[in-house]
Structure 1
């Protein structure tokens, strides 16, 4: 298919999937999309699988505009869900019951019925504010989001393409608010506010009252990165305090149990690590490794993956054995540029930890890839940069 073909809500696209044998590990890798425009799955903290993991939400720039799509993973057939013209950015989150997606389009948050494709605006950021990401509570009753004071008139910003203005915005301390929105009625209430650059809203996967957010900025300079919030009381607290000056911790996400939070980071001497901690700051576990990475993710079932940085061009896997993570071993080649958010790998396990979904632009355009995790971990090659 070519970019000149028409697009439209409800349009069906034939399967683009193809398989190849990975040159590093010999495992079969399935390329799910193949179009001369960027396609990527949802941000790694957000689940895009629904309909008993038979369907997958993803974002694509086909037709020269960014829209939301759904894929039948078995057949590969693609359905276009939205039809926004001349659009360059889109985020989405999925209600856990699979009935609807919430699409961030500019300053508006739109409820999209996944059966009828009907759209309804449920929230719009106040004038003078930017809309942040959205995340659905585990009971599917609410959607959480954040808004930040728009300071683009005095700070040059291009956060999605190289984090331009990242530090300056942190130092400017924009007024930010966290908002809880009724998923049906759209009734919105402010649940927290501060003069901090607040982003990275994550709802617990099991506890409707629990969420995390972050104070955004360079990880070694921000006052504190990971925060918990009790939606019943409005109480906020620090999660995973720095162990030493200059330590960097971030890219937090909830484990499937909804009470454990995963993250990755860098010691002051540059040593990389991934780890987990409960929302109440108990049960901390961390594993160090000897190369740089962009993201880490864990399935909560004893497996962890990182995507590498610089000279590291592969996805690296750890598996817990006798209470300790063993690895890293190479899962497959990645070769992702990470030049902008659209071409970040953002690896994410499926619900059972049997498959890994990731994005790579190794052929020039971002595409979605899926690989089965082998049962015998020891048969994977030991990591080599």
Structure 2
């Protein structure tokens, strides 16, 4: 590890990793351990071949103590580890690899295969239920091969091609799996509610300006879905996640926004500017679909994540990590640091996330050519 001060703000930042590519959990998850000063992350540091972030690095799972710098390898998979989720205490880690959903018990070291695809579907967005009985995930039909790793290549094409998307639950004891919802759209961002194993959220994936209803709540007992935040024509909505207290956060950028950013710092799908009569905002919804708070944004970030009390957001704009105070009537923005990422791949997106106690922010950057992890303490 090394520490340095941001040249613009003077804030002290700790670079946690310095070899290979290192990617923390997606921003809808939380890489921090609730009970220990550790994070869970993916890295190709143990791979036999060094690859750039866009060259499909051979990732495995690791644990890092951010106070001592000690790193422990947790998996040794023959194929790269993809999407990852875990319980807050990191006892259970679910991950995707080679068309399989696997569950690792970090206390016992036992790994269980929960689901194995026969080649018909791609797997997305695993999530562990709060009672630890199920791992849920999205699976979408395999369509004409498109590259979605670099600058959102194939993003629009996948939106139009995928007509068979499913939400699947697998029992954590490995005994069985079953579909709880079948759809005619590309599905993603599956997330169990943090406090109710019978409720989950998922999205219709694709360019935000083309998706007519992004966020859906799924009653897993009744097998019924309902829209959360009913969209109108001008709404372009995305980057939804559960807050720690069980609300649903979303970002509404309005018409002219597809929810992407490329390494040219442009959008991947939409080229025309948004109308001047729409002001972007973020919102908090309850699970009945009621808007609890609407916070207008005179700016927008690529991703947001909320602190435990929903009073502060961390966001990543094109060049900087920013802190946004939403405790009052108007949002107030403060620059935290320059992140220096290229935005070239999903792995290099900053995806800043708060620690469970709201004292630290973790983010990624490919400054220097490889993806590394950085920690900022408030």
With the length of structure 1 as denominator, give the TM-score of the two structures.
Answer: 0.85
In terms of mean alpha carbon deviation, does 261-270 or 190-199 score higher?
Answer: 261-270
Number of aligned positions between the proteins: 346
Map 1:205-224; keep pairs closer than 5 Å: 205-224=194-213
Choose the corresponding residue for 2:313, options 271, 291, 304: 304
- What is the RMSD of the two structures over their aligned residues, measured on CA atoms? 1.8
Q: CA separation in 2, counterparts of 1:193 and 1:108?
A: 20
Contact persistence 1:274–1:286 (CA under 8 A): yes
Residues 32-87 of structure 1 deviation map (CA, whole Å, 9 limit, x = unaligned): 1111x2111010111222260422100112223211111122211001111224x4
Residues 251-281 of structure 1 deviation map (CA, whole Å, 9 limit, x = unaligned): 11000012x1112231233644322211211
Question: Which position in structure 2 is the counterpart of 1:284?
Answer: 292
Choose the corresponding residue for 1:257, options 234, 239, 245: 245
Question: Which position in structure 2 is the counterpart of 1:84?
Answer: 77
Q: CA separation in 2, counterparts of 1:325 and 1:227?
A: 28
Which consecutive residues of structure 1, in runs of 5 or more, have no partner in the other structure?
1-16, 374-385
Contact persistence 1:201–1:211 (CA under 8 A): yes
Question: Which position in structure 2 is the counterpart of 1:59?
Answer: 42
Q: 1:186 to 1:47 in 2, by over 3 A?
A: farther
SS of the residue corresponding to residue 90 of structure 1 reads: strand
| Superposition deviation, residue 371 in structure 1 | 0.7
Alignment partner of 1:185 is 2:174 = yes
Question: Which position in structure 1 is the counterpart of 2:7?
Answer: 23
Alignment partner of 1:352 is 2:357 = yes
Residues 148-193 of structure 1 deviation map (CA, whole Å, 9 limit, x = unaligned): 11112xxx41122222222222223421111111112342121111
Question: Which position in structure 1 is the counterpart of 2:123?
Answer: 131
Which structure is higher in RCO with an 8 Å CA cutoff and minimum separation 6? Answer: 2
Contact persistence 2:283–2:291 (CA under 8 A): no
Which consecutive residues of structure 2, in runs of 5 or more, have no partner in the other structure?
50-57, 256-273
Contact persistence 1:96–1:136 (CA under 8 A): no
Q: 1:194 to 1:277 in 2, by over 3 A?
A: same
Q: CA separation in 2, counterparts of 1:135 and 1:213?
A: 11
| Superposition deviation, residue 368 in structure 1 | 0.7
Q: 1:88 to 1:142 in 2, by over 3 A?
A: closer
SS of the residue corresponding to residue 177 of structure 1 reads: strand
Question: Which position in structure 2 is the counterpart of 1:47?
Answer: 30
In terms of mean alpha carbon deviation, does 190-199 or 289-298 score higher?
Answer: 289-298
SS of the residue corresponding to residue 49 of structure 1 reads: coil
Q: 1:346 to 1:162 in 2, by over 3 A?
A: same
Alignment partner of 1:266 is 2:253 = yes
In terms of mean alpha carbon deviation, does 272-281 or 76-85 score higher?
Answer: 272-281
Q: 1:21 to 1:78 in 2, by over 3 A?
A: same
| Superposition deviation, residue 98 in structure 1 | 2.8
Map 1:143-154; keep pairs closer than 5 Å: 143-152=135-144
Q: CA separation in 2, counterparts of 1:116 and 1:18?
A: 32
Contact persistence 2:93–2:106 (CA under 8 A): yes
Residues 131-161 of structure 1 deviation map (CA, whole Å, 9 limit, x = unaligned): 1120011121211111111112xxx411222
Q: CA separation in 1, counterparts of 2:133 and 2:112?
A: 16
Question: Which position in structure 1 is the counterpart of 2:269?
Answer: none
Choose the corresponding residue for 1:247, options 230, 235, 241: 235
